[in-house]
Amino acid sequence: MSSFTALQIIDQARTYVDRDGTDDGVTNDQLLPLLSPKYFALRRKLGDVAPDVFTARESFTISSGNSHTISATDFGKVLKLERSVSGGYVPMEVAPALTTGIVDSGYRLVGTAIEVYPAAYAAGDYRLTYITKPDAVIDDVTDTLELPDGAEDILARQLAADIQMRIRQDPTLQLQLAAAALQELIEGLADQYRGTPQQIAEVY
């Protein structure tokens, strides 16, 4: 994983189309709002291929009731929920929506809350592993984008295509190069992820 500022990616995009921002009327302030949705979409795609790249954990205890509101501000998507049993952690299944009252053991995500079923036996200690979501890119100098090496080029190519569209040039080549770079990165991460144990045995 590497960190990149929005300005670094914008500057790279400009080099791809040989525009420095002074001769095309396309400012950094115009490009910056286009970067966040591209960044979010890229993170989601890469997170689906290799979840371990963007994971974090939150441990919590349910003392009463059957619900826990996730406190992590970077929560994006549940990867797995585990319950503490006899000193270890056991993965839980997702409970079907229409049968949450009769499953042996399960959970559902409702908004930003984890609901555990059956509710009468929900009290206990849990460990949530989730895929993180990135912060919005607001400042082109201070805000950073966290990405695997090579992913920044995809965003730069996509922004380069935006520049070309704004100055009425054909963006096809930049979009093709972005798609090719994305496919290459996905294949590389998939190979790496398949070659890495998805769950390391823990010793208690």
Residues 43, 142: one domain?
A: yes
Residues 165, 67: one domain?
A: no
**Domain around 117:** 52-132
- C-alpha closest to that of 163 among 10, 7, 5, 26: 26
Q: Can you read off the two tokens belonging to residue 48?
A: 């689906």
Per-residue pLDDT tens for 81-120?
A: 999 999 899 999 998 765 555 556 799 999 999 999 888 9
Residues 77, 89: one domain?
A: yes
Segment among 28-32, 97-101, 136-140, 198-202 with least mean pLDDT: 198-202
The answer for 76, left when phi > 0, alpha when psi is -120 to 50, beta otherwise, is: alpha
The reply to whether 79 falls in a domain is yes
Per-residue pLDDT tens for 24-55?
A: 678 889 999 999 999 999 999 998 888 888 99
The reply to whether 117 falls in a domain is yes
For residue 39, the SS3 value is: helix
The reply to whether 106 falls in a domain is yes
